[in-house]
Amino acid sequence: MSQIASHATPSLSGQGRVAIVTGASSGIGRAAAIELAEAGFDVWAGARRTGRMAELGQYGIKVLPLDVTDEASMVHFVDAVLAGAGRVDVLVNNAGICGYGAVEDLPLAEGRAQFEVNVFGMARMIQLVLPGMRERGDGRIINISSIGAKIYQPFAAWYHASKHAVEGFSDSLRLEVRPFGIDVCLVEPGVIVSEWNQVARKNLVEVSKGGAYEKAARRMARVLALADRRSLGSESTLVAHTIVAAALAGKPRTRYVVGAGARAAVTARRVLPDRAMDGLLGGLR
């Protein structure tokens, strides 16, 4: 944690503060919920797969079902937190999905589903906690983005589009809520070792089968499989450390880039012309 904390401003204390983590059944969300609890936060974790969150109770974390594509589910979740804890100090919007496939192959419904979770679910959770934060003049919203909001790759147009939307949304929101003492932070992870990657590349191969993009999709799946190597991908706990640092910082950064190769990728996108970047990313295929 010292590596991350060294970049943070003087920290607040997690004791007595209430944090919500969405998408907490696995990966970054699960790790963030645990580390926030260990930092002293009263953590409320939500996800659709509540059975996979049962062990979080041993950390004192409250587990509730949460589907960020369902209005009633989101309202019930936030109401339960407010009834039980009386406030929300930190909202970690981690729930997200990614469906790989060529634009030509993926139905529009798949693109809408990714936006529904990655953008609109995030937005609605923010709407539900903002009134209380604004009234108290304090609060922190941490939106989990991706270096996918900075770079791009074939077969992930909808995912990259949704993460670009998350960044634009967060930047505008930051200006709106700043006068009320509310901070908005973006966490931009690089490649993370997770089951998410395995599911994504399996689906990519399936959706491309028999089509014009099948060979290229199979090559891309092999590239994605490289993330399973610990030398090329980062563990979810590294991102969780960053989330805790953002939650505790007295004056948080607006963006936290974290993970193997993340900073190099962001730098390359900033300095290379589009065609050069196309050649680099196209070479992965």
pLDDT tens column, 156-167: 999 999 999 999
Residues labelled catalytic: 159
Asked whether residue 121 is assigned to any structural domain, the reply reads yes
The CATH number covering residue 32 comes to 3.40.50.720
pLDDT above 90 coverage of the chain, percent: 75
Average pLDDT estimate for 195-202? 80
Residues 60, 279: Cα–Cα separation, whole Å: 49
The secondary structure of residue 118, as a DSSP letter, is I
Q: What is the pLDDT of residues 241-271, one digit of tens each?
A: 999 999 999 999 999 999 878 888 889 999 9
Structural domain that includes position 260: 2-193+234-270
DSSP percent split of the chain into helix, strand, coil, nearest 5: 55, 15, 30
Split into its structural domains, the chain has a count of 1
**Sequence-distant (≥ 6) Cβ neighbours of residue 18 within 8 angstroms:** 41, 42, 44, 81, 85, 86, 87, 88, 89, 90
What pLDDT is stored for residue 285 in this prediction?
A: 46
What pLDDT is stored for residue 2 in this prediction?
A: 33
What pLDDT is stored for residue 11 in this prediction?
A: 58
What pLDDT is stored for residue 13 in this prediction?
A: 73
Asked whether residue 222 is assigned to any structural domain, the reply reads no
Residues 28, 72: Cα–Cα separation, whole Å: 25
Residues 14, 245: Cα–Cα separation, whole Å: 11
Asked whether residue 211 is assigned to any structural domain, the reply reads no
SS3 state of residue 142: strand
Asked whether residue 226 is assigned to any structural domain, the reply reads no
CA 156 vs. chain centroid, Å, equals 16
Residues 273, 151: Cα–Cα separation, whole Å: 12
Average pLDDT estimate for 180-192? 94
Do 247 and 140 contact (CB within 8 A), yes or no? yes
Asked whether residue 282 is assigned to any structural domain, the reply reads no
Average pLDDT estimate for 116-122? 98
Do 184 and 254 contact (CB within 8 A), yes or no? yes
Q: Between 225 and 283, where is the model more confident?
A: 225
Do 92 and 139 contact (CB within 8 A), yes or no? no
pLDDT above 70 coverage of the chain, percent: 93
Residues 60, 86: Cα–Cα separation, whole Å: 17
pLDDT surpassing 70 at residue 8: no
pTM for this prediction:
0.91
Asked whether residue 22 is assigned to any structural domain, the reply reads yes
Render 62-99 in DSSP notation, one character per residue.
EEEE--TT-HHHHHHHHHHHHHHHS--SEEEE------
Q: What is the pLDDT of residues 81-111, one digit of tens each?
A: 999 999 999 999 999 999 899 999 999 999 9
Do 210 and 277 contact (CB within 8 A), yes or no? no
Residues 282, 285: Cα–Cα separation, whole Å: 6
Dihedral through CA 115, CA 116, CA 121, CA 123, nearest 10?
50
The secondary structure of residue 117, as a DSSP letter, is I
Q: Is 83 left (phi over 0), alpha (psi -120 to 50) or beta?
A: alpha
Asked whether residue 200 is assigned to any structural domain, the reply reads no
pLDDT surpassing 70 at residue 3: no
Asked whether residue 42 is assigned to any structural domain, the reply reads yes
Residues 14, 243: Cα–Cα separation, whole Å: 12
What pLDDT is stored for residue 108 in this prediction?
A: 96
